[in-house]
Amino acid sequence: MGNETAGSGGYGPVLLDHFEHPRNLGEIPRPEAAVTVRAPGSRDSLQLTFRIRQDRIVEVRFRAGGCPVAIAAGSVATGLLEGRSIVEALGLKDSEVIQALGGLPSPRLRRSVLVARAVREALGAHPH
Amino acid sequence: MDHNATTPLHEEVLEAMMPYLTDQFANPASITHAAGRVVRDAVEAARAEIAAFVGAQPSEIVFTSGATESDNLALKGAAWAHRDHGDHIVTSATEHKAVLDTCRWLQNNGFRLTVLPVDADGLVDPAAVAAALSDRTILVSVQHANSEIGTIQPVEEIGRLCRERGVLFHCDATQSVGRIPFSVADVSCDMAAFSGHKFYGPKGIGALFVRRRVRIEPILSGGGQENGRRAGTLNVPGVIGLAAACRVARRDREAESLRLLQLRTILLDDIVSNVPGARLNGHPVRRLPNNLNFSFPGVEGEALILGMKTVALSSGSACTADEPGPSHVLKAIGLPDELGHATLRFGLGRGNDESEVRSVAAALAGAVARLRSLSPTS
C-alpha cells in the first residue's frame, strides 16, 4: 500500500528544514493581494497573502496543506518572492522553487508545487 | 510499527537457519549422496511441521518464493488445470494485488472475472459469493485477513458454500498465518497461500497449500521439484526458517496476540481521545489483533509520517506512490479520496511495547495539530 516512509522520506535537508520550520507562515491582515489554490485530486493547497508597496512585494506570508512538498514549497517561495517587483514575481517558475528546495526525489512531485499558479492568480490582474 | 508489511527475523529462526546457510549446503534433490539426503530429510521434517501448523498433510505443501508466487500458482495453476470445466473466477475488491492482478491477467487471457464489492467495514457478503457462482465458475479467491485495514473475512462460510457447489476455493492467508488461528480444515479451502516474513520468518520463502487430488498446472517449468508443481532448487534455509517461524508461532502466538490486542486498545483509545476527527477504517471487531488503520481529516498521510519522524508507518496513499490516490482497499470501502489521502496503517509487533505505543499516539496528535495549523484558512 502506498509508499512506506520513515525518517526523511527521501527528501533533502533543505526541503525537510522548510517542512519542519516553515518561514513566513500565516497571513497578512488586509493584504494587497491574496489567493488560495488547490491541486485537483489531492489535498495539496497553497494560500499566499501579499503586502505590496509601489509595485514591489515587501512581505509575503503563506499557508499550505497536503504533502511535505506542498508545505516546503510554500515556505521557500515566500523568500523567493519577497523584494521582487510584480513583473519579476510573475516570472517565477516552479522549477526555481524546486531548485531552491534542493530538488525533489521524484519528478511526479512537481504537481505539488503550486507557487507559479498561485502568483499568477494573485498578481496577474494586479496593476503593474 | 509497520509489522503488516513485514517482520524482523526471530532469533530462534535465524539460529535454525544458520547450519543451512553454512555447512549444510547440499541440494535436497541430490539423494545420491549422504549430504543431500541429510538436507532432504531436514526439508521433509520442516514440511511436516509447516503442514501441521495449518492443519494440512505434508504432501499438500508446495514451497514457493513467497505469497505473491503462491497466489499466482494457485490462481493461474488451478484456472489452467480446470479450464475444461469452466471459465469463471470470483474474487473480492480488497484482495492483495497478488490476487487481483493475477485474476485480471487471467481475465485478459480468456477467463471471466467477477470482483465482489465489500461493505464499509471491508467485509465480503457470503450471500454475494453464492449469488455470483454459476455452473461455469471454477474458482473463488477470498483473503482471510486484509493487509491494510485488518478486516477478517467470513472465509469458513465462503469455503463451505464453495464446497457445496463444487467450486475450488483459494484463501490468501498471508496476513493471518502466524498471527491468528488458521486451519485449512476449518476454512474448507482447496488452496491457501502464506509466507514466512509476515511472522518473523525469512523473506523469500512462502508456501501454497494444495488439497490432495486438487489439480494445478505449474507456472514454472523445469526440474520437476515439488511433485512437478513448482520447478527450481528449493530455498533450503528459507524452508527451515519457515518451519522455525511456525514452531515459534505455535508456542507464542496466543500470548502475543493477547498482548498486541491490549496494546492496540491503548493505541486506539489514545488516538480517539487526542486526535479530533480520527476515523477508524476496517471492521471494529473482526480484525487482525495487531492492526489499526485511521484516517485523519485535514492532513496528508506522508506529511503526517514525516512529521512523526522516527516512527516507521505506512500511509494509505502518497504523492510518490506508483498508485496515484488512495489505495484500492480504501476506495473499495467507500472512503472519500479526501480521507484516503489522510490515512495511516499501524501494524504492531513483537518489538512494540506500551511506552512506544503511547509515545506514537502523542507524536501523532502533535503532528496532526501542527499540520492542521499550517493549512489555508479559506
**A48 lies in a domain?**
yes
**Residues B92-105: pLDDT tens digits?**
999 999 999 999 99
Domain contains A41: yes
Interchain contact, B323 vs A43, CB within 8 Å = no
Write down the catalytic residue from B162, B189, B246, B319.
B319
Mean pLDDT of B241-269: 97
The pLDDT value recorded for residue B151 is: 98
The closest alpha carbon to A60, from A117, A123, A127, A108, belongs to A123
Q: Which pLDDT does position B317 carry in this prediction? A: 52
Tell me what the mean pLDDT of segment B247-276 comes to: 97
Q: Which among A117, A91, A102, A24 has a CA at the least distance from the CA of A63?
A: A24
Which domains, and CATH codes, for chain B? 11-248 (3.40.640.10), 253-373 (3.90.1150.10)
CB contacts of B314 in chain A (<8 Å) are 1-2, 4
Residue type for A52, please? I
- Determine the 3-state secondary structure of B368 from DSSP: helix
Structurally, chain A folds into a number of domains equal to 1
Q: Do A11 and B306 touch (CB under 8 A)?
A: yes
Mean pLDDT of B168-197: 97
Q: How confident is the model at residue A112 (pLDDT cuts 50, 70, 90)?
A: confident
pTM across the whole model = 0.90
Q: Is residue A128 part of a domain?
A: no
Q: Give pLDDT tens digits for B103-138.
A: 999 999 999 999 999 999 999 999 999 999 999 999
User: CB-CB: which of B299, B312, B321 is closest to A2?
Assistant: B321
A125 shares contact with chain B (CB less than 8 Å): no
The pLDDT score that the predictor gives to residue A6 is: 41
- pLDDT the model gives residue B318: 46
pLDDT attached to residue A40: 80
Residue A9 has pLDDT above 90, yes or no: no
Is B15 in the A-facing interface, judged by CB distances under 8 Å? no
Give residue B324's pLDDT: 60
The pLDDT of B140-167, averaged and rounded, is 98
Q: Looking at residue A42, what is its pLDDT? A: 76
Q: Indicate if the pLDDT at residue B320 is higher than 90.
A: no
| Shortest CA distance from A26: residue in chain B | B374
Q: Would you say residue A100 lies in a domain?
A: yes
Confidence label for B312 from pLDDT (cuts 50, 70 and 90): confident
Closest to B319 (Cβ–Cβ): which among A25, A42, A63?
A: A42
Instruction: Note the pLDDT of residue B316.
Output: 64
Label residues B130-150 b or e (16+ Cβ within 10 Å = b): bebbeeebbbbbbbbbbbbbb
Quote the percentage of chain B above a pLDDT of 70: 97
Asked if A9's CB is within 8 angstroms of B374's CB, the reply is no
Contact call for A6 and B317, based on CB within 8 A: no
ipTM here: 0.89
Is residue A45 included in any domain, yes or no? yes
Q: What CATH number has the domain bearing residue A56?
A: 3.90.1010.10
Put simply, whether A36 touches B (Cβ < 8 Å) is: yes
Query: Taking CB atoms and an 8 Å limit, are A105 and B320 in contact across chains?
Result: yes
Domain of A113, in residue numbers = 13-123
Which range has the worst mean pLDDT, A102-116, B173-187, B233-247, B275-289? A102-116
A25, closest residue in chain B (CA to CA): B374
> Is A4 part of any domain?
no
HEC string of chain A equals CCCEECCCCCCCHHHHHHHHCCCCECCCCCCCEEEEEECCCCCCEEEEEEEEECCEEEEEEEEEECCHHHHHHHHHHHHHHCCCEHHHHHCCCHHHHHHHCCCCCCHHHHHHCCHHHHHHHHHCCCCC
For this structure, is B319 an active site residue? Answer: yes
d(CA B214, CA B187): 16
Output the pLDDT for position B314. 75
CA distance A49 to chain B (A): 11
Average pLDDT over chain A reads 90
A3 within some domain: no
Interface test with B, best of A17, A43, A45 (most B CBs within 10 A): A43
Q: Count of A–B CB contacts within 8 Å?
A: 116
Question: For A15-69, how does the pLDDT look when each residue is reduced to its tens digit (9 = 90+)?
Answer: 999 999 999 999 999 999 999 999 887 789 999 999 999 999 999 999 999 999 9
Cβ neighbours of B376 in A, within 8 Å: 36, 45-47, 63-65
Residue B310 binned pLDDT confidence (cut-offs 50, 70, 90): low
Q: How far is B209 from chain A (nearest CA, A)?
A: 26
Confidence bin at A126 (pLDDT 50/70/90): confident
Contact call for B319 and A5, based on CB within 8 A: no
Q: Considering the domain boundaries, does residue A90 fall inside one?
A: yes
